[in-house]
């Protein structure tokens, strides 16, 4: 089977030469393991961090080894109790056609309940990030005005809609194209949205939220965080979920210049990692599956076909070529 290896550590923006698609023999499954033919795998912004050789909350990818990440596939051979050929599973060995997975790291998913790719997005890691980051970390409450950056992406699109569903007074989103801005307002029901490339974020946010915001869900960092600090009302809360604007930086980024406002406004800026919130999983699945079934919660996927396009899909994600969850499909 073919699999993507990291062969050099990117400096700044990743380059095609940093990656190689290699063929390896398909073996196994060993005792307690299943052999899975991957049908979809996820490319995610956090993977950029794993390409650097630095200590972090996830270990760096090893050079000349297959990269990892969320994937769903079909069991084609089982050497583990409770798993049969034909089962669909979610697991962490993406970026490859065939995965030999320890059964304890495989979760069965139901293809009848939702399209399999949804378990990587709206019903999976990015959906839970939105749900936990808004309701747990930001302590969202009815009547809050919410601003989310990266609002047309996998996490952001869910944050904004979930806030509306739970009674936000106003939801504002920012994204990187006029088409995305239109989608936010016309399809996802945001009250206001702006293209951060069309003018200073601080000014555009003030116009979109003249009465300020109570919650900021940060996917971007940089000038977005600075603008949010200016617009947050007293006792406002920010979930610091991601800072994609700086993942390819080669120099440290200056902090928000207005950080001192945190004092007088008694703001709470709280970092999060989705893995801390697995206890919310049952509530999350029940509530989100219900909203999807009723049509109240919408989601998009950008699907790139073919393992050979895995690198392009990842780079496309960093460049904003996706609307909703970026998925690589191996089904053709």
Quick check: 329 and 117 in contact, CB under 8 A? yes
Task: Give me the least distance between CB of 322 and ligand NDP, in Å please.
Answer: 5
User: Where are the extended beta strands (E) located within the chain?
Assistant: 2-6, 19-23, 33-42, 71-78, 88-91, 98-102, 107-108, 145-148, 170-175, 192-195, 213-218, 232-240, 268-271, 301-305, 325-329
Task: Give me the least distance between CB of 324 and ligand NDP, in Å please.
Answer: 7
User: Nearest 10 degrees: CA dihedral of 62, 63, 64, 65?
Assistant: 20
Task: Give me the least distance between CB of 278 and ligand NDP, in Å please.
Answer: 11
Quote the CA–CA distance of 236 and 146 in Å, as a whole number. 10
| CA distance between the termini of the chain | 15
C-beta of 66 vs 153, nearer to ligand NDP = 153
C-beta of 15 vs 266, nearer to ligand NDP = 15
C-beta of 152 vs 232, nearer to ligand NDP = 152
Task: Give me the least distance between CB of 43 and ligand NDP, in Å please.
Answer: 9
Task: Give me the least distance between CB of 79 and ligand NDP, in Å please.
Answer: 32
Task: Give me the least distance between CB of 34 and ligand NDP, in Å please.
Answer: 26
C-beta of 106 vs 193, nearer to ligand NDP = 193
C-beta of 14 vs 156, nearer to ligand NDP = 156
245: DSSP letter: G
Quote the CA–CA distance of 184 and 182 in Å, as a whole number. 5
Number of other residues whose CB lies within 10 A of the CB of residue 203: 12
Angle among Cα 101, 153, 228 to the nearest 5 degrees reads 125
Quote the CA–CA distance of 171 and 163 in Å, as a whole number. 7
C-beta of 137 vs 209, nearer to ligand NDP = 137
Residues binding ligand NDP (CB under 6 A)? 44-46, 126, 129, 150, 152-156, 175-177, 180, 219-220, 241-242, 244-245, 272-274, 317-318, 320, 322
C-beta of 249 vs 331, nearer to ligand NDP = 249
Task: Give me the least distance between CB of 55 and ligand NDP, in Å please.
Answer: 17
């Amino acid at each position: 089977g073919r699999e993507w290896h990291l062969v050099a550590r990117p400096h700044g923006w990743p380059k095609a030469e940093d990656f190689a698609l290699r063929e390896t023999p398909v073996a196994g499954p060993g005792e307690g393991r299943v052999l899975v033919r991957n049908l979809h795998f996820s490319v995610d912004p956090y993977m950029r961090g794993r390409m650097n050789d630095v200590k972090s909350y996830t270990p760096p990818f090893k050079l000349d080894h297959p990269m990892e990440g969320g994937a769903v596939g079909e069991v084609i051979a089982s050497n583990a109790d409770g798993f049969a050929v034909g089962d669909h599973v979610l697991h962490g060995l993406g970026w490859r056609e065939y995965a030999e997975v320890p059964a304890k790291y495989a979760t069965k998913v139901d293809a009848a309940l939702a399209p399999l790719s949804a378990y990587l997005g709206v019903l999976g890691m990015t959906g839970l990030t939105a749900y936990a980051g808004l309701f747990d970390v930001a302590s969202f409450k009815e009547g809050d005005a919410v601003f989310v950056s990266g609002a047309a992406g996998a996490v952001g699109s869910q944050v904004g809609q979930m806030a509306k569903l739970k009674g936000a007074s106003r939801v504002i989103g920012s994204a990187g194209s006029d088409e995305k801005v239109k989608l936010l307002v016309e399809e996802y029901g945001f009250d206001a949205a702006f293209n951060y490339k069309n003018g200073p974020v601080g000014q555009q946010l003030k116009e979109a939220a003249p009465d300020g915001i109570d919650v900021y869900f940060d996917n971007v960092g940089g000038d977005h965080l600075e603008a949010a600090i200016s617009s947050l009302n007293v006792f406002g809360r920010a979930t610091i979920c991601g800072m994609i604007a700086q993942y390819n930086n080669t120099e440290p980024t200056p902090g928000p210049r207005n950080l001192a406002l945190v004092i007088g406004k008694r703001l709470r800026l709280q970092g999060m990692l989705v893995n801390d919130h697995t206890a919310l999983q049952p509530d999350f699945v029940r509530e989100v599956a219900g909203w999807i079934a009723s049509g109240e919660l919408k989601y998009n996927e950008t699907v790139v076909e073919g393992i050979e396009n895995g690198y392009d899909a990842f780079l496309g994600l960093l460049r904003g070529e996706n609307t909703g969850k970026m998925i690589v499909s191996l089904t053709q």
